[in-house]
């Protein structure tokens, strides 16, 4: 009997917790916790299920997400958000009306698992950052989509045994840098910084192969260029990145500076 009374003191009944939540909402003007979940309407899905309504972000969290997307993440290199950004990917402004939260979370975490043929590299983010971006996109105006579940887990296909630099360039690079490396791809005009012209011999001959490799693997931000150029190191193998470097050399018909090249015949 004593243990039962002690348990009641340590764990208040659900009704007591609900009353505490109601009192908090009267003081703060905000509704949260089980009361919010009980009264918040959930948009219906096309399959008859109801999509959970995400709690709204605070103004500070909203601003943080917007700054991350604008200045630090590569998403707006391809996607448009609120009228700004690239034009080759789906518009993120209205993604909530087209895709479920599970789908958005899955494709942000590992695009190749969801849409293997898409030219969307995997962007490594801290879990808290990824969750913030997903929540931000799912709290944009509009009715939530439903009936678009996240795909089932599937083995990630192994990279090809041989890397075709021209094919890789056409898939991953040409939309911004242009099919012939002139910096005039269909997405170039939407970018705040003009993409590098890989066919420019004068410029590319000043860049060592290691610099090209690191830029492809780590993204534009690490080279003090645009953060909207994504990092491909989590999506392409080392051999594929080297094949891209070799293809860039074929576009500029040049080598890197002499000091950066290995002596002929090896060291």
CATH superfamily name and code, 59-138: Cytochrome c-like domain (1.10.760.10)
Write the CATH number of the domain with boundaries 165-257. Answer: 1.10.760
Question: Where exactly are the structural domains of the chain?
Answer: 59-138, 165-257
Which element (helix H / strand E) includes 81?
Answer: strand 80-81
Given this chain, do its domains 59-138 and 165-257 carry the same CATH topology? yes
Cα–chain center distance at 100:
16
Contact 207, 218 (CB under 8 A): no
Can you give the pLDDT of all 267 residues of the chain as single tens digits? 444 434 333 344 444 443 444 443 433 334 344 323 322 333 444 444 555 666 889 999 999 999 999 999 999 999 999 999 999 999 999 998 999 989 999 999 999 999 988 899 999 999 999 999 999 999 887 655 554 454 544 544 544 535 899 999 999 999 999 999 999 999 999 999 999 999 999 999 999 999 999 999 999 999 888 999 999 999 999 999 999 999 999 999 999 999 998 776 454
Six-digit token pair at 253? 């018909």
Distances (CA, A) of 3 to 7, 12, 62, 93: 6, 14, 46, 55
């Amino acid at each position: 009997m004593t243990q039962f009374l002690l348990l009641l003191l340590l764990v208040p009944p659900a009704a007591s917790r609900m009353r505490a939540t109601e009192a908090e909402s009267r003081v703060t003007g905000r509704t949260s916790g089980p009361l919010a979940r009980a009264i918040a309407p959930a948009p219906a899905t096309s399959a008859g299920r109801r999509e959970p309504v995400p709690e709204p972000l605070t103004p500070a969290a909203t601003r943080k997400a917007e700054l991350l997307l604008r200045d630090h993440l590569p998403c707006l290199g391809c996607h448009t958000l609120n009228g700004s950004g690239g034009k080759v990917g789906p518009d993120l402004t209205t993604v909530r009306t087209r895709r479920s939260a599970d789908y958005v979370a899955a494709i942000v975490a590992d695009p190749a698992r969801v849409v293997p043929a898409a030219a969307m590299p995997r962007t490594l983010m801290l879990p808290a950052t990824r969750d913030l971006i997903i929540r931000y996109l799912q709290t944009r105006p509009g009715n939530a989509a439903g009936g678009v579940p996240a795909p089932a887990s599937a083995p990630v296909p192994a990279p090809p045994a041989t890397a075709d630099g021209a094919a890789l360039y056409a898939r991953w690079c040409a939309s911004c840098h242009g099919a012939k490396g002139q910096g005039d791809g269909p997405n170039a005009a939407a970018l705040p910084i003009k993409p590098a012209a890989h066919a420019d011999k004068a410029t590319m001959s000043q860049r060592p192969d290691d610099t090209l490799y690191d830029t492809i693997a780590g993204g534009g931000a690490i080279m003090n260029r645009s953060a909207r150029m994504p990092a491909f190191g989590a999506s392409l193998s080392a051999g594929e990145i080297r094949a891209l470097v070799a293809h860039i050399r074929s576009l500029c018909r040049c080598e890197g500076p002499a000091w950066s090249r290995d002596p002929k015949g090896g060291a």
